[in-house]
Amino acid sequence: MSSDDLFWTTPDRIEKDGHIGPVDATQLPRFAGPATFARLPRIDEVEHTDVAVMGIPFDTGVSYRSGARFGPTHVRESSRLMRPYHPVLDTDPFGVQQVADAGDVGVNPYDIDEAMGTVERAASALTVRGSRIVTIGGDHTIALPLLRNAHRHHGKVALIHFDAHLDTWDTYFGQPYTHGTPFRRAFEEDLIDTDAVMHVGTRGPLYGKKDLDDDASFGFSHITCEAIMRRGVDDVVEQIRSVLDDRPTYLSIDIDVLDPAHAPGTGTPEAGGMTSRELLAILRGLRGTRLIGADVVEVSPAYDHAELTGIAAAHVVYDLIALMGLSTEGGAR
């Protein structure tokens, strides 16, 4: 900031190769100013956006604890400490591509159908403008309209779904569109490439064995949390990569895939989950795959403590952005 500009309205930003990055934390302390994701510019502050971070403050689809409507704000607040260089992937996620915060979509909290339509239209508007999207939820219901948009622009997509839960259940209280059902609907609507759909991190009690039989009949394979523990991260990465090949790939990450010790702030927690270290390591193993879109959902801040969940989710979003910059789909490699 110059001396005649003492306020956060026009802060200095880190710039690289013509890409406008985060507010410079050596000029304006990280804890000051409004929280866009990683203190990146808003989408209206840049001419073109390669990757848009979009918030969906929606939780009308939940079956247990509510509150994920506050997820986007919380994850942004928890993302103030992101730095511009990713040492493991050896990349500048905000320097190799233009990343911007698209803000929150104004979804109807009283009408799930209408909200899903709004999410799809918002996602489509960003896609048409040439942006790939990392969505911050919101409950998992929103994966369905996001997959509808992905399918419209890319055809059937490979889906890697990190979650404690299958989310391929049929209905809850007779309702087809809930946070426990998006991937069954996606299968029925032919949005996903059934040769390349996988759950990672599943665990916890089910309603019955039929849940697994139904899920398998939709083409899903799964790597349980227990398998991750026994087999280790590298082996799991190899299995995921073997199904992806160069297919257009969507990653959906329910933060409850993490153990409640790592992510207490979520609506349907299950014991025995992944560590955030395991999740980040598996994601980094997907470097160079054809990532067309991703979401991080189910952060419910009222149940969070010391921003544990928000910080984990913010790091996951950061890594997804880094992966997009290294992706074979429009990325800088």
Ligand X SMILES: N=C(N)NCCCC(=O)O
Q: Interface with Zn ion by CB under 5 A: which residues?
A: 140, 163-165, 167, 254, 256
Site track for ligand X across 157-176, x = CB under 6 A? --------x-x---------
192-202/157-162 β-pairing: parallel
Interface with ligand X, residue 256, by CB under 6 A: yes
DSSP designation for 40: P
Interface with ligand X, residue 259, by CB under 6 A: no
Give me the least distance between CB of 170 and ligand X, in Å please: 12
10, amino acid identity? T
221-224/192-202 β-pairing: parallel
Site track for ligand X across 128-147, x = CB under 6 A? ------------x-------
Give me the least distance between CB of 296 and Zn ion, in Å please: 11
Q: Which of 180, 260, 301, 310 binds ligand X (CB under 6 A)?
A: 180
Picked from ligand X, Zn ion, none, the partner binding residue 325 (CB below 5 to 8 A depending on kind) is: none
Judged by CB under 6 A, the number of residues near ligand X is 11
- In terms of CB distance, is 101 or 298 closer to ligand X? 298
Which residue, 305, 326, 325, is CA-closest to 94? 325
Give me the least distance between CB of 198 and ligand X, in Å please: 16
Give me the least distance between CB of 5 and Zn ion, in Å please: 44
Number of helices (H), then strands (E), in the chain: 9, 10
Interface with ligand X, residue 59, by CB under 6 A: no
Rounded distance, CA 193 to CA 167, Å? 17
Give me the least distance between CB of 80 and Zn ion, in Å please: 26
Rounded distance, CA 332 to CA 94, Å? 11
Picked from Zn ion, ligand X, none, the partner binding residue 319 (CB below 5 to 8 A depending on kind) is: none
Distance of CA 100 to the CA centre of its chain: 15
What residues does 52 pair with on adjacent strands?
Answer: 100, 133
Q: Which of 20, 28, 33, 63 binds ligand X (CB under 6 A)?
A: 63
Contact present, 131 and 157 (Cβ < 8 Å): no
- In terms of CB distance, is 118 or 268 closer to ligand X? 268
Give me the least distance between CB of 233 and ligand X, in Å please: 23
- In terms of CB distance, is 43 or 223 closer to Zn ion? 223
Picked from Zn ion, ligand X, none, the partner binding residue 59 (CB below 5 to 8 A depending on kind) is: none
* DSSP SS3 for 151: helix
What are the tokens at 262? 């790592």
Give me the least distance between CB of 141 and Zn ion, in Å please: 9
What residues does 101 pair with on adjacent strands?
Answer: 42, 53
Distance of CA 73 to the CA centre of its chain: 14
Q: Which residue is listed with tokens 């280790």?
A: 232
Task: Please count the other Cβ atoms lying within 10 Å of the Cβ belonging to residue 157.
Answer: 22
- In terms of CB distance, is 23 or 164 closer to Zn ion? 164
